């Protein structure tokens, strides 16, 4: 058991101390700990992954559910033990989600921490066969100096994941994602640099570099008689900058690109208690003609309340509902309700995570129109995206 690596995700310091102490008593030596999901992802990035995560669900910042989704995408966790006080129906739904995300579910420890129960659950962990690759080969985290050098050299690139009309398969826009074209390590995903950027306040600098690249692409497309709506992710802290909308407006004017060509995606969990400055930024962006999308719709606490209060023009349905579409019949009811809600509020609904033809056909039957996912296209660099647009005269704005 001593060779098992484990991450304790618990926001309450005393509970976390109890868990870590008990695990050491059981002989575990490779123990990591974190107080919220964002810190946990950074820990996983630094250590290269763990065998097991002991996961609480309710916490400030990124909660346990969002953490599990991100950890699943990064491939940095093999097994999950729940340790949270939630109602039975919520616990069962969470267990279903954990399995759908591809984790091994070892059991529910509950609270308070029970060392005998924990030992029994840890005993369910099966060691990884010697001939299998590790969770992820250890990657030395790139330091702040290296990231600053990359920013200064313009090595961070805008990549594009297209959104398509489900029926016609015509492109309806694209989400802009960050990649690092590193001179030694090649193309690096966000998991290699975003946690460090967030920790050192560099997200805004990355955002403006990606926006500039996106506007340059739109200028090239305009000269070819084409246009495409590009969606950029905004962090909650960026909204508190009162100059945000003014700077976006100037960038649009300098590029000769209309505001309707841009959409800004915001996660609902980051807007739970949006200050007045953030609300002002959202209104000003909409006044510029830009779209606003609520990302990961349905994964947070108060999506419906936020939709009523904030000037969104689009909602992006969290991919977890698509993943459970076949195995969990209630997912279909939720998706069709989201379609009706978006139509009633005159918003565009974008379904995330479409990977199979079966999912596409089911979504069409539920009334969905716009989607993104690997079934249609993976994220691609500027040249591949431009070639895709040039090969189909189907690009259009929302």
Kindly list the catalytic residues.
Answer: 352
β-pairing verdict for 370-372 and 156-165: antiparallel
Radius of gyration of the chain (CA): 22
* For residue 112, cis peptide bond before it (omega within 30 degrees of 0): yes
Residue 315 is given by DSSP the state E
CA–CA gap between residue 180 and residue 193 (Å, rounded): 8
- State how far the alpha carbon of 214 is from the alpha carbons of 173, 227, 257, 374, in Å: 12, 12, 11, 21
**Distance (Å, whole) CA 292 – CA 15:** 39
Check: CB of residue 104 under 8 Å from CB of residue 72: no
- CB atoms near residue 92 (< 10 Å): 12
Residue ranges of alpha helices (H) inside 159-225 are 194-199, 203-223
The set of residues, in sequence order, having a beta carbon less than 8 Å from that of 314 and lying 6+ positions away, is 263, 291, 292, 293, 294, 347, 348, 349, 350, 398
Residue 336, classed as helix, strand or coil, is helix
Residues 6+ apart with CB under 8 A from 377: 161, 162, 164, 388
Distance from C-alpha of 102 to C-alpha of 199, rounded to nearest angstrom: 29
242/283 Cα distance (integer angstroms):
11
Distances in Å between the alpha carbon of 308 and those of 12, 267, 286, 316?
32, 15, 15, 16
Paired with 52 in beta bridges are 6, 79
- Whether residue 49 contacts residue 191, with contact meaning beta carbons closer than 8 Å, is answered with no
C-alpha to C-alpha distance for 189 and 197, rounded to whole angstroms: 13
């Amino acid at each position: 058991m001593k060779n098992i690596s484990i991450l304790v995700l618990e926001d309450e310091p005393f509970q976390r101390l109890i868990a870590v102490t008990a695990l050491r008593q059981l002989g575990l030596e490779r123990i990591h700990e974190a107080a919220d999901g964002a810190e946990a992802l950074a820990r996983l990035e630094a250590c290269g992954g763990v065998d097991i995560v002991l996961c609480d669900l309710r916490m400030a910042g990124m909660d346990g559910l969002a953490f599990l989704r991100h950890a699943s995408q990064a491939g940095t966790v093999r097994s999950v033990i729940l340790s949270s006080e939630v109602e039975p129906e919520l616990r069962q739904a969470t267990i279903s989600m954990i399995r759908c995300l591809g984790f091994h579910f070892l059991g529910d420890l509950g609270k308070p921490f029970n060392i005998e129960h924990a030992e029994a659950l840890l005993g369910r962990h099966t060691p990884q066969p010697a001939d299998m690759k590790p969770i992820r080969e250890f990657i030395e985290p790139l330091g702040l100096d290296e990231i600053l050098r990359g920013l200064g050299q313009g090595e961070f690139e805008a990549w594009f994941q297209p959104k398509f009309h489900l029926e016609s398969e015509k492109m309806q826009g694209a989400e802009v994602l960050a990649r690092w074209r590193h001179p030694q390590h090649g193309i690096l995903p966000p998991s290699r640099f975003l946690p460090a950027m967030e920790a050192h306040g560099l997200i805004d600098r990355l955002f403006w570099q990606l926006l500039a690249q996106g506007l340059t692409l739109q200028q090239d497309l305009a000269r070819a008689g084409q246009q495409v709506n590009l969606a950029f992710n905004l962090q909650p802290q960026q909204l508190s900058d009162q100059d945000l909308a003014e700077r976006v407006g100037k960038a649009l004017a300098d590029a000769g690109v209309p505001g309707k060509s841009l959409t800004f995606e915001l996660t609902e969990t980051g807007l739970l208690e949006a200050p007045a400055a953030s609300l002002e930024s959202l209104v000003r962006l909409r006044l510029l003609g830009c779209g606003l999308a609520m990302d990961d719709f349905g994964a947070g606490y108060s999506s419906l309340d936020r939709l009523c209060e904030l000037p969104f023009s689009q909602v992006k349905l969290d991919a977890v509902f698509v993943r459970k579409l076949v195995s969990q019949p209630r997912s279909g009811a939720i998706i069709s309700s989201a379609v009706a809600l978006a139509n009633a509020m005159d918003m565009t609904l974008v379904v995330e995570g479409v990977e199979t033809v079966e999912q596409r056909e089911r979504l069409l039957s539920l009334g969905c129109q716009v989607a993104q996912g690997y079934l249609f296209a993976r994220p691609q660099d500027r040249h591949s995206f431009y070639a895709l647009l040039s090969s189909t005269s189907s690009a259009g704005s929302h």
